[in-house]
Structure formats: structure tokens, C-alpha cells
Amino acid sequence: MNSRALVPILRTIIAPSTTDQCSNTRTSSTPRLARSLPVELLREIFLIAVGSVINAENLVTTSHDEQHAISLEVRKKIDKLTTICSQWKAIAHDVPDLWTTLDFSDPHYMVQCLSLCKIRPLHIRGVFSSGKAEADYTEVLKALETRAEQIVTISVSTEQMDMLLVNLSSITPLSAFTVFLPNLQELRLTNMKKEFADRTDHNLYLPQLKLLSLSKVGVLFSASDSSVPALPALKTLIITFHEITVGEMGNLVRILHNSPNLNALMINSGELGERMPDTGDSLQFQRLANGRFNLPNLATVKFIDIPGLLSSSICYALQDSQPEISFVFGDVVSANHFIVDYAYISPPLESLRKCPHACELSLSIGFQCDSPDPKVRFMSLQSPKCDACAKPRLLIRHDDTFTSLLLSRMQSFLHLDNRITSLNVSLSGVMLSGNTTKQTLMWPHIWRDLHSLKSVRLFDVAIYDDASDSQRSFMSTMAGGRGLYLDHLEELEVSYIPGAADHGTWPGVDVRAVRRVVDACESLREVKLHRLPEVVRTTAEWRRRWGALEAVLMERNFSL
């Protein structure tokens, strides 16, 4: 619905009553709508007219010209609503909460919005062009100072924000600037690339900040001699490197030293990946950190495509916290490079390798894990139960290179093969190779190398799918001909995805393969087959084979 279509509706619902028209008091001149409708509904009326253009994620990914066009479009639509009638204009200006959820890219428009915000909480989201004049930002500074206590979240992408911070420190006494945003709880900054390492007058004190996200950010604040932590309430820190500069490394070190209650840390190489420098960065971090960090509440640390020496140096500095550490890699090559060249110097991985209890490991393949993208799948290796080692987690992203991924990863895990006792594989969304010969060779390779497996769980087996040759063959290879591959197997669980029965006798073949595994593995104590009875129903031969298998499973007290 556009703003023109809203006009007759709005004129009807906000027209003043007869009493209002006859009265000259200030109360009676207040529009009826302002007294009867909640702020949430008023905001919805605004947003219907403004549309989806005010979307913070879209703004961050658009060009400066597109951002400017969006800002103008938003302003035009807001202006149209405020000119519908005097009563509607009064509502817009008397309900400042309507203005606190807008995204904007124009400094003057930002000042206009800030001038209307009289209540808290205030959420600032904007994308500023680097072409704006310094005078424009000076105006913004003054408006921000006026509303400093109301600001709860800031999400800004700009190459000028570092200049804004420095300008603010130059026009405001240092004591005032250190408590500039006393109620800020969330701060997300992007594209602040300039360095101010030689300045000491832009200290920062954010007593209520809980989340800090920095992407491509230079120096955020200088070191302080104060014994009071600059970020005492910070719980989550997310840093994406633009390049490993002294400023970015200094940000990380100073934030860790000033965040005693930090709970979660994520460090991402961004677009640089394996192209990031390594040795020099590690030495630089060690020099800046000057020892270990005191972070007693740190629970999780995630490294995403961070070079081995740098991540190892950070892990060493965090050893006293004993967090759960995840190493995430974008491909098999970088993961292999890390494991072969750096795992032996990485404190958590070395702890895992030398665990005094030789703890059992779990290998999972094809799961979404905690990625927001459902198409991204991971292979992970971790120790789920041991308390003696650091319990690190290796995550390797993969897409459709399932076969080559498995073969190469097994080679890398040879030094731990006798400790991998659990294998979990999800075939959901994984496109497998149609080469039946290659797939048939793949599974015996796994069973042979992972000879200590006690538990095998396979999920989302589509036995009727054209691309599922390897899915059908995996059960046939598990017993290994002579039944020697999995002679320690104790638990077997398979979850099937039923489909149209139009491919001959594959369900029957799978039933026969399960029977072979059950007969060959004397150590089996639990078998779970999910939805297989539903798909084995088309022919009498399949039903006969299923009946025989069912009898064997029931005789050994296995679950169906």
C-alpha cells in the first residue's frame, strides 16, 4: 500500500472529534488517534508507507549512490505522511519512538531524526558515505551528544566514523567523552579503516555495552592507564579483520584486556582467508598482549580461517580461561595445511593429541552446525566427553566434494584414527558423485581406516534417489566381505527418506545389507532403523526379506 492510498483511511481515523473542534485547549487539539492507538500501530502505518527500503542489512551491502537514493526515498515518504493533515504531523512529531527505528545514510536526516527522539531506547543504524563534508559530521556530533544517554544500539558502516570519534574528542572534554554513551548496549561498526595509533585523546568507556562487532576497523580507542575496564559488561566480541594492521591487532588486545566478563569471542579473516600474513602477526600479537588475558567467564572461542600461528598465539594467551575452541576452515586444503603444519603448536589441539586418557573422538560429516546458511555443511572432529583435554572442535566447510573430502580427511586423521569411535553422517542436501565404482571404494576406505568405530549413525538416506548409488552401497560395504572392518561396532542407526518405489529392488538390497552387518558384527548391542519399514512394502520379496530381518532384530532385542 502506498502513501496516497493511505490518505482517505488516515483522514478518517485521525479526524478530530466535534468536541475537539469546538475546544481551544491544548488537550482537545490533540488528535484522537494519538490518544487511542498504540505506538506499535502508528509505527506500522509509517512502515507500510515507507516499505522495505529501510532495511539495515540491505543498506550495508549497497553502494554509496544507492544509499543516498534510499535515504531520499525514505525522507520523501515520511514527509508525505506528515503533510496528510496537521493532526497527523502532530502525531509524527509527538511520538518520537516512530523515528528511532529508521535507517539513514544522510547526516542531515540523521540530525532531523535525533531532534525528534525524546525518549529511550534509541537505536541508530546508518550507512555514511565517505564523500560527506566534515562539517556535516560536526552537526551529527552535537546531536549525538544531546541524545547520548538514550542511545542503546549503534550499527554504522562508514569510513568517516573514526574521524567522527576524533572530532568528538577534540570538541568535548576527555572526562565527558569517556562516558559519552553510558547506556549503549550494542555497537556494530564497519569500514573504519583509518589509523589513529599516534593519538591518545580518544579513549572509550562504555559501561553497559554487551555486544561489540568490528569489521574492517582501525583503532577504536587508545590504551588507557585507568584501572577501570573500558568495557566491563561486554559479553560478545566479533572481529573481522580487514588486514592485519597494528590498529586492528591493537583493538583485539585492548578489548580483551578491558573486558573482564567476556563470554564469547569470534575472530574472522573476512575476505582475506589464507592470504593473510602469519608469522609477523603472531609476533605482533604476542608483543601487544604481553602475557595472558584474565577472562574467567570466557566460554567459547571461534577462529574462522585464521592462520595457524596467529590462532595459536591467541589460544596461548587465553589458556587460563579454558574455553571451548572451534577452528573453522573454508576448504579442505586450508584445513590440511593447519593440521599438518600448526596443530602441534596449537595449545588446544596439542592437548587433544596428548590427552592422558586417550579420549574417544566423534567425527561428524555433512551437518549444518551453527551456520546461518542451510546450504553450508561441515565436517567436524571433537571430543564430546573428555574433561581432561581442551575439547577443541575442528569444522571444515564443504559442498558437493563429498568423496574427495572424505578420502583426504581420513589421511589427515591417521594419527587419531584409533581414537575416533563415533561416526555421524548426514546426506541431506549433499550431492554425491554418480560414479558407483568410486563410491564403492570410498566406504571400505572409511571402515578400514576407522577401525575403532563403536557407533555409526547415518541420516537422510534417500534410497530411491537417482544420485544415491553410494548411499545404497554403504551398507553393503560395512561388513567388509569377511566381516572384519567393523568388528568393534556396538551401535548402528540409519534414518531413511522414503520416496516413490520406481527403481527396482534397492530397498531389498538395503535390507539384505543390514542383515549382513547384523550377522557379521557380534559386538552389536543396539540397532535402530528409522522409516525403513515404511519403504519396504512394494513387492512380496522385499516384505519377505524385511520379515526375516525383523525376526533377527527382535531375537537380539534391537530397537526398530
Instruction: Dump pLDDT digits (tens) for 265-312.
Output: 999 886 555 455 555 566 777 777 777 888 999 999 998 888 777 888
Nearby residues of 110 by Cβ (< 8 Å), 6 or more positions away: 104, 124, 126, 140, 143
The residue ranges of every structural domain in the chain are 1-119
The neighbouring-strand residues paired with 378 are 367, 397
pLDDT at 338 over 50: yes
How many C-alpha atoms does 493 have within 13 Å on its Cβ side?
Answer: 13
Mean pLDDT of 433-459: 68
- When pLDDT is cut at 50, 70 and 90, the band that residue 262 belongs to is very high
List alpha helices for 292-422, DSSP H: 308-317, 332-341, 347-353, 402-412
Half-sphere exposure of 501 (CA within 13 A, CB side): 13
- Grid cell locating 312: 595459536
Q: Please identify which residue in the block is written with the cell numbers 506499535.
A: 40
Check pLDDT > 60 for residue 256. yes
This prediction has a pTM of 0.69
| Farthest-apart Cα atoms in the chain, separation | 99
Structure confidence at residue 272 (pLDDT): 56
CA gap 16, 262 in Å, rounded: 53
Q: Which residue has the cell 573504519?
A: 192
Cα separation, 151 vs 104, whole angstroms: 16
User: If you search the block for the grid coordinates 555443511, which residue do you land on?
Assistant: 377
State the Cα–Cα distance between residues 51 and 212, nearest whole angstrom. Answer: 29
Residue 193: Cβ-neighbour burial (10 angstroms; 0-12, 13-18, 19+):
middle
CA atoms of 494 and 490, how far apart (whole Å): 14
DSSP for 65-92, written as a single string? HHHHHHHHHHHHHHHHHHTS-HHHHHHH
Give 102-116 as a 3 state SS string.
CEECCHHHHHHHHHH
DSSP 463: T
384, amino acid identity: P
Q: How far apart are CA 91 and CA 33, in angstroms?
A: 8
- Write down the H helix ranges in 415-505: 436-449, 469-478
Question: What's the rounded mean pLDDT across residues 326-333?
Answer: 79
Which range of 68-72, 364-368, 395-399 scores highest in mean pLDDT? It is 364-368
**Cβ-contact 99, 116 below 8 angstroms:** yes
**Which is nearest to 323 in space by CA: 368, 365, 292, 353?**
292
98-102, 268-272, 459-463, 555-559: which is most confident: 555-559
Cell triple for residue 177? 567523552
Q: Is the pLDDT of residue 178 over 60?
A: no
What residues contact residue 5 under an 8 Å CB cut-off, 6+ apart? none
Whole-angstrom Cα distance, residue 334 to residue 405? 12
Share of the chain above pLDDT 70, in %: 47
List the Cα angle 59/331/402 in 5-degree steps. Answer: 115
Contact (Cβ atoms closer than 8 angstroms) between residue 425 and residue 459 = yes
pLDDT for the residue 266: 93
Q: Which among 146, 147, 145 is positioned nearest to 167, based on CA atoms?
A: 145
Looking at residue 235, what is its pLDDT? 96
Average of pLDDT values for 116-125?
65
- Mean pLDDT value of segment 51-73: 51
Q: How far is CA 488 from the centre of its chain?
A: 38
pLDDT of 237 higher than 70: yes
Our CA angle for 431, 469, 432, nearest 5°, is: 15
Query: Helix 107-116 crosses helix 64-82 at what angle (to 10 degrees)?
Result: 40
Pairing of strands 377-382, 300-304: unpaired
Burial of 443 (0-12, 13-18, 19+ CB in 10 A): buried
